Structure 1
């Protein structure tokens, strides 16, 4: 790990030991069965890992997004499911932190951090993933509340959730209006809400991925997040997730690279270890450099968010972290698979699992293409820029 502040270093050492002793032995079984690991959830609850990124007044650790980033990277080294479980300690809370009231945070964020109730975030729809303005789920005013109607898809933790943050557009507002987007907290057992499907996915098994249907679900106005009054507010809150998603990529990439190195040190070709071949060494070196670069971007992004800098001026830097970490995860997993040869094609092999787990990282929480759009826009808008300010030129003294 890079140099960390003492309190983060202590967290890193503690979490690394927990993940190595308790999570690593369960990883293959979780991937094989796809069953939700309640024992790991209980472990994370007792270790206080579910409240890492919450403010101290909400029962958090005070270590912020950096703390959750550290823990998630270590979890993802051993189990993709464990990484997602930690991510879900922040994802449904992010809109609440961005646009909720103090009462709403006490009502939903605090129990989540304590491990008493679980949340999930429901925004995507069958025809609208990255295209938030294409959402069709409607929120219709109904007296002192609202009626929600529509379908939400690909929700991580849908089957385990006790409540959802549901994103919808105000009914009658017209299509593709950025200021018509709203967010509501809806209980999983609310009348009219049903879990319609859980998907079997190739990677990241162990945490459900599901769809829900909203059939005129009645929601009181105190469940609407008042600070979410448009797409900008919503996406600003979600951008605070970028370092945590990035940490999943870092952990997976590190696990893949270590697996590859162990293999080429042991494997003999022509009486010599594969590790002495220059071509292989260069692949290892390039992967290591990209991994370290992604790690620096990720922890800088976490520091920016903890410092309150998650607006448009930092969007490019946050996107760079997510892009770099997810892409290197795919590359490192592919390298580990290639260097293990035919055995990596066998179901259940660690390299085979890493390849499956890595691929979806370039899609979730903003695709790689979306991240490139954000980065390019930041450069063109000069918010990601390298021109120094004009400084007075001091005259040279000549001997």
Structure 2
């Protein structure tokens, strides 16, 4: 099986009835047609060269994919699939063909999430209308060299400066940093040593503001999408650059929690592509006169992988439904974390299996299986590591937000001898 032949044509697969309404099934068919035309022929070259795929970006913009989660008054769709469920479908489908394409769609929502949650009408209109139309790009900047999972360790400082602010700090590991026209930057208004959750704020910083510098990193995975640091050297920002609704750690994490289904969809799409490629190869490859897929040791592993993928699908769309219903608050945090954890770890497991089944060919640089395994590993680190998701899930168990006993006895204070 040549690299150009994998993954197999996803559109030929039957529609999982529990996952897509007829409206969403038609939307997915359209997405596959876009991907087959604009993404599939480019996937290998994007990974090989690492160059940002402007042509893919322009096609997604023309198709309205960057505006899926925006309200109609900001350029979002007035009819048809929309919102986080639509973006989850779009990200899953595109991730089957290219991890870079899936990330590109995720980045249409990530910098928009804090603006939708805590921005003013003017901020939303000025920034999100061009973002949705593909006329401008944004990026979200929270992580720092010493503060990734440890959000309270953020050292970037926002100090009052007349009627505005002055920002100083170093933001790291920012996807889309090199292409962004503006950034949502998280900083503290207190002494960083105080680790005050209530002092965290979000600010819009223009790319061409004085004191802003971008330093790019070479990516080993998800090539074609930039990764960089944002250096802030006393950057002046006007008072209107602060997002008034992001006034502490709680609102900030609440906005980011709405991203869990989209990140999960990146893992789901990649796992699906890896499994389909492995199944096709196992059907073609014969050892001792028998196709690999007919040999018990291989077929059972593929079957387990299929169960893994189906579980990831159910969890991903359950999470998207929670966000779409507006119930992505603290009580749902554990379920959102389960989706992100399972789908991204599933991508690692299934792409690893695909690499094993392809054998030596699957370990060669540029082979689809090698590329997918490389890209999958990143997913367990970004947008909250697997360990952070585990902690959120454990917290949900501790607080009774994940519980399966009778309602009257729900939570850790309930019976210890079973339901």
Q: Report the TM-score range of the alignment, normalised by the length of the smaller protein.
A: over 0.9
**Structure 2: gaps spanning 5 or more residues:** 1-14, 410-419
Which runs of structure 2 are paired with 1:280-295 in the superposition (5 Å)?
A: 280-295=298-313
Per the alignment, residue 323 of structure 1 pairs with 341
- Residue equivalent to 2:297: 279
TM-score, normalised relative to structure 2: 0.91
Q: Which residue of 2 aligns with 1:2?
A: 16
Tell me which residue corresponds to 1:88: 107
Contact 1:134 1:175 in 2 (8 A): no
2:146 pairs, out of 79, 102, 127, with 127
Instruction: Give the unaligned 5+ runs of structure 1.
Output: 392-399
In 1: Cα distance, 2:148 partner to 2:284 partner: 44
Residue 274 of structure 2 is aligned to residue 260 of structure 1: no
TM-score by length of 1: 0.96
Could you list the runs of 4 or more consecutive aligned residues of structure 1 that deviate by over 6 angstroms after TM superposition? none
- Give the Cα–Cα distance (whole angstroms) in 1 for the partners of residues 109 and 311 of structure 2: 24
Q: In the alignment, is residue 71 of structure 1 matched against residue 90 of structure 2?
A: yes
2:74 maps to which residue?
58
- The whole-number CA distance in structure 1 between the counterparts of 2:120 and 2:22 is 33
Q: Structure 1 stretch 9-18 or stretch 24-33: which is displaced more?
A: 9-18
Count of residues paired in the alignment: 390
Contact 2:334 2:392 in 1 (8 A): yes
Show the counterpart of 1:339. Answer: 357
Say if 1:173 and 1:180, in contact at 8 Å, map to a contact too: no
Which residue of the other structure, out of 128, 150, 154, is the alignment partner of 1:109? 128
Q: Deviations over 1:177-197 (max 9, x none)?
A: 1001000000011000011x2
Show the 5 A alignment for 1:243-254. Answer: 243-254=261-272
Q: Over the residues paired in the alignment, what is the CA RMSD in angstroms?
A: 1.2
User: Counterpart of 1:395?
Assistant: none
1:84 Cα offset (Å): 0.7
Q: Give the structure 2 partner of residue 25 of structure 1.
A: 41
User: What is the match of residue 305 of structure 1?
Assistant: 323
Return the alpha-carbon distance in structure 1 between the equivalents of residues 311 and 304 of structure 2: 11
> Once the 2 structures are TM-superposed, how far is the Cα of residue 378 of structure 1 from its aligned partner?
0.3
CA distance in structure 2 between the aligned counterparts of 1:285 and 1:255, rounded to whole angstroms: 15
- Give CA-to-partner distance per residue, 1:149-207, whole Å, 9 cap, x none: 00001100000000000000004475211001000000011000011x21112110001
1:45 to 41, 50, 61: 61
Deviates more, 1:101-110 or 1:157-166: 101-110
